[in-house]
């Protein structure tokens, strides 16, 4: 039991921090900005580039697949359970996968809480012409990027290890090739 608790410490620490930050920022937006029309910018010069705006999202990350909230509620719950089940089986040496899974769990649960409590996800970060998103969406995306980076680094490490194993060692003495010599010279 202690083994599982230790294993889950990283998962629940990272995902818990993401969930708390995600839910707190969404709460601030819902309490202080009107739906669709409320916009906040700390400095006027930032307005064309970035702003905080209160947008409901019934789809997935970055506003894709609108009006399918029921499907993504089920999918988020399912993915979260898979991550919780699979996490203790991941090697402690595979830090990229462990961090990626933790971030993805935090993002999935953060948005799942919104879907279950208010029926949609609160999106509020608007940068340029990019789709409006939230902390949970960003966490899932960064988790995927960390996962891709980790897989790439692991493959590179294995390739280098494989290249080192197949490189011939030049300092070892070579056996004498006697196949071309006449039979009387081989026996002498």
Residue 135, CA distances (Å) to 19, 118, 154, 160 in order:
9, 17, 28, 37
Residue 44 among the catalytic residues = no
Residue 123 among the catalytic residues = yes
Tell me the sheet residues that pair with 56: 122
147 near 97, Cβ under 8 Å? Answer: yes
- Out of 123, 163, 177, 185, the active site residue is 123
134 near 122, Cβ under 8 Å? Answer: yes
DSSP letter for each residue of 86-135: HGGGS-TT-HHHHHHHHHHHHHHHHHHHHHHHHSSEEEEEEETTSPPB-H
Tell me if residue 62 falls in helix, strand or coil. helix
Torsions phi, psi of 64, nearest 5?
-80, 150
- Out of 94, 137, 177, 185, the active site residue is 137
- State the sign of the Cα–Cα–Cα–Cα dihedral 59, 65, 69, 73: negative
For the record, the structure tokens of 13 come out as 């620490």
Which residues are catalytic, by number? 123, 137
């Amino acid at each position: 039991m202690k083994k599982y608790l230790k294993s889950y410490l990283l998962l629940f620490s990272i995902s818990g921090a993401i969930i708390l930050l995600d839910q707190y920022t969404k709460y601030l937006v819902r309490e202080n900005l009107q739906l669709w029309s409320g916009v906040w910018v700390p400095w006027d010069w930032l307005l064309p580039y970035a702003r905080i705006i209160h947008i409901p999202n019934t789809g997935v990350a970055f506003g894709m697949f609108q009006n399918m909230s029921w499907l993504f509620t089920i999918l988020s719950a399912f993915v979260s359970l898979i991550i919780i089940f699979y996490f203790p089986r991941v090697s402690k040496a595979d830090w990229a996968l462990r961090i990626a899974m933790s971030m993805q769990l935090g993002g999935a649960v953060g948005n799942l809480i919104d879907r279950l409590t208010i029926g949609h996800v609160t999106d509020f970060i608007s940068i340029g012409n990019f789709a409006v998103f939230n902390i949970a969406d960003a966490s899932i995306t960064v988790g995927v990027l960390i996962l891709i980076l980790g897989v790439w680094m692991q493959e590179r490490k294995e390739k280098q290890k494989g290249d080192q194993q197949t490189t011939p060692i030049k300092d070892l003495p070579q056996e004498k090739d006697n196949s071309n010599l006449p039979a009387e010279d081989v026996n002498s």
